[in-house]
Amino acid sequence: MTVLIITHSQDNESIPLVIQAIEAQGGKAFRFDTDRFPTEITLDVYYAKSERVTLSVEDQTLDLNEVSAVWYRRIAIGSRIPDSMDKQLRQASLKESRVTIDGMIASIKGFHLDPLPNIRRAENKQLQLRIARDIGLDTPRTLTTNNSVAVKQFAQECKEGMITKMLSSFAIYDEQGQEKVVFTNPISSKDLDNLDGLRFCPMTFQEKIPKALELRTIIVGKRVLTAAVDSQALDKARYDWRKQGIALLDAWEPYTLPEDVEEKLLKLMAEFGLNYGAIDIILTPDGRHVFLEVNPVGEFFWLERCPGLPISEAIAQVLQN
């Protein structure tokens, strides 16, 4: 039996790490780079008196009926369809390619880490906060709105100040095609006088939480693996450690969450039907563990190197068992 890994060509080293772990445990893995479909990869879905579903990549062919487990990691279906195509035809090709692969994934009978509908539901950060609050996790005061009056009222409630963040993954690309990620940023009094843009796009605001450490918790099945970093050691990382992610690569250390916090995080995962999640938490100077969000397909690869969390091994075990 084979584990099907659904990703794209530009994905990071987490893919070979998990493949190595699967093979070390005696299993097999097949990598499906979705950006190469339909231009370079072929899929045959045949239903008659018999059934044949095969995925072919160069000299490799996978019978999808032999897939024991699926790891849905990243997706970029149709990104290599030429931009020179007629726009309407290209859009039709993209749509048909996506629904074809969505149907393929949904039809695989093996174990899914995690089912795509569960992932999509869990990506809703407003729902995350509601469920986290219901479970008893500590969460920040949060406002999502397109109402400038509500923002100014909210600012008065946030005695330590407030920040703004995106509910969706968002980046701006410059003329050279370089990605400029929109990070978490503080809101100044000057910003409060310039909220006209809310008429065109809602924003999410949160109270600023004092930070002793920032935690990244990776949950795989019932395993809870946590690392901590002192983001306040670098000025540019104070509001979002990702701004100095490379500089902080070797600064992560193992961390053990209180048992009650771990239990609540596992309950959150169960509420979403997830076997995998990357969770961001703030440890405050007075010892509170404040839940920020869970990413159902979040990154983990740097934590394998430092502090050496066995995440790939855990993923491989869940996929094969």
Q: Are residues 65 and 109 in the same domain?
A: yes
Q: Are residues 218 and 202 in the same domain?
A: no
Q: What is the pLDDT of residue 179?
A: 66
Tell if the pTM clears 0.85, that is, is over it: yes
Tell me if 122 is assigned to some domain.
no
Average pLDDT over residues 39-48: 96
The number of helices, as runs of H, and strands, as runs of E, in the chain is: 9, 18
Q: Which of 180, 207, 234 is the last residue of a domain?
A: 207
Q: Are residues 316 and 214 in the same domain?
A: yes
Tell me if 179 is assigned to some domain.
yes
Q: What is the pLDDT of residue 248?
A: 95
Tell me if 202 is assigned to some domain.
yes
Tell me if 149 is assigned to some domain.
yes
Q: Are residues 243 and 274 in the same domain?
A: yes
Q: Total domain count for the chain?
A: 3
Distance CA 192, CA 196 (A): 10
Distance CA 167, CA 289 (A): 21
Phi, psi of 247 (to 5 degrees): -65, -25
Per-residue pLDDT tens for 97-144? Answer: 999 999 999 999 999 999 999 999 999 999 999 999 999 999 999 999
Q: In what order do the strands lie in the sheet with 213-220?
A: 253-254, 223-229, 213-220, 276-283, 289-295
Q: Which of 207, 226, 246 is the last residue of a domain?
A: 207
Tell me if 118 is assigned to some domain.
no
Q: Which of 154, 173, 207 is the last residue of a domain?
A: 207
Q: Are residues 48 and 26 in the same domain?
A: yes
Confidence of residue 59 (pLDDT cuts 50, 70, 90): confident
Distance CA 147, CA 182 (A): 21
Distance CA 136, CA 195 (A): 33
Q: Are residues 281 and 293 in the same domain?
A: yes
Q: What is the pLDDT of residue 183?
A: 87
Q: Are residues 306 and 215 in the same domain?
A: yes
Average pLDDT over residues 192-218: 96
Q: Are residues 6 and 109 in the same domain?
A: yes
Q: Are residues 104 and 21 in the same domain?
A: yes
Domain extent for 147: 141-207
Confidence of residue 180 (pLDDT cuts 50, 70, 90): confident
Q: Are residues 279 and 226 in the same domain?
A: yes
Q: Are residues 183 and 170 in the same domain?
A: yes
The CATH number linked to 256 is: 3.30.470.20
The CATH number linked to 45 is: 3.40.50
Q: Are residues 199 and 267 in the same domain?
A: no
Percentage of the chain with pLDDT > 90? Answer: 92
Tell me if 124 is assigned to some domain.
no
Average pLDDT over residues 3-27: 97
Per-residue pLDDT tens for 207-239? Answer: 999 999 999 999 999 999 999 999 999 999 999
Per-residue pLDDT tens for 236-293? Answer: 999 999 889 999 999 999 999 999 999 999 999 999 999 999 999 999 999 999 999 9
Question: Which position has the token pair 């969770």?
Answer: 279
